[in-house]
Structure 1
């Protein structure tokens, strides 16, 4: 009875994992669209500070239950602080870029982050990247160039800010990989409180009193971001990464829909082609890494463990 129920349970977990990934990416897209809407009237520092305030209020009970010292008394503190700077920097770049560019354009550029991580993993992590993945990185960067359109109508400043934000985001992902032994609560708490402190430092210079509704919408940025992270993390716990990670790209579809409904902006053929190249390259790199990991695991099993 137990053996026969296991496949059904695994299938249920996989379906739930896919739904949670779709939910998480949808929440992230709503968060990004809300940020684009609000950054037209409020400075980036206010978005960072108020969204972090609401996020911190949600995290506070979890931190108190776990213990403040156990959450914040971490090893490799400089690396945690570097990650905080990367998180704050990439969010600021994203909000700055979407002031002038369609949401889908900026999100498409940010989708190149896994390709940048692959390229940076060689000098920063000492990892080996084969020619197939390097070829995928080149194709993906060609997609980024198509999206940026440097030879045509090129919004230089917001486009380069988005590209820089993607680089900073990728550096943050690498720092997260280096901190994989840290608890998820520590990572989320550091980025929430750290980003809030960095945003608050500039508030005396840029504060604009928001009406009550706008204040709640600014706070909703923090709520949706935390909910999105929770859904995505739970998805990866329930389902194999190879199954759910490709569903992350649904955010591009949502971004296109929101651009059309809210701002009346339709994606150009250039954006569609660039997005397909970036997404296709990212998926190839991901599945290639999965295949290499499976091969390494099979080789280790075949050779036996210590003392074999």
Structure 2
């Protein structure tokens, strides 16, 4: 009886072992069949430092030393991260006929690849605090930690990651200049014609004079005001009109990564921003990730309070990791 029982137990044991091995083999086969992403990890501390470094130069208003020094810094960082860098200089005319010594800074990765994504932000800061509650501050330039600095900071960290892990596609990063020199509130009544074209001068220039003749990209992503605490990103109206499929891709990616509280699955208002001129001038579908809703911009917008106190690492992480995931998943599509 004991001998028969032993044989039975041994048979069951061997059968269980065989089944486990087969299950293990099956699991291994399934795992190997699923494409594995090589998306790098976005370093929010690094992005925060890049924002801080810009603010340390002072307000990056065209025709100032701070602007010139920061522009040199941004170009040198892109070179350090292995990009092919173009510095596009031009004298642009502001709303009041001031000549602005402007510079668009472009960093290209895998420049020979036909499959390309465009990432962009503006790097200048507002020469006025025209939304400040204190009228005495209206003619003072702003730090632009979020409005300008945050988008550039995220893109610099993305550039650093691109230099470490090849995305397998072409990526162009553009820092547009003279975006924030539009007509101030205190002068608006002097102008009877639409003032939207007084903004985004750098992107308007680039759209007519791209750094590469006949430049094309599958789509573009604009980052504007993407670093403040409790930021929310609605689906901006112009983005939905011209790039709805890419908006949905970005917002779905953010939700899958656990960043749904930032990327709100609802339509927002429309804004005049760099993406409009890239769409119009280059016929590239673009979307704008911007902290804006139908209630307006953040409370600190175009005031003396747009400083490093508002910059939040978690927000930078949510935006940066989402964009990285979109980039590195494109090689599968």
Q: Would you call these one fold, judging by a TM-score over 0.5?
A: no
User: Which one has the bigger helix percentage?
Assistant: 1
What is the TM-score with the length of structure 2 in the denominator?
0.25
- Rg larger in 1 or in 2? 2
User: Which one has the bigger strand percentage?
Assistant: 2
What is the TM-score with the length of structure 1 in the denominator?
0.27
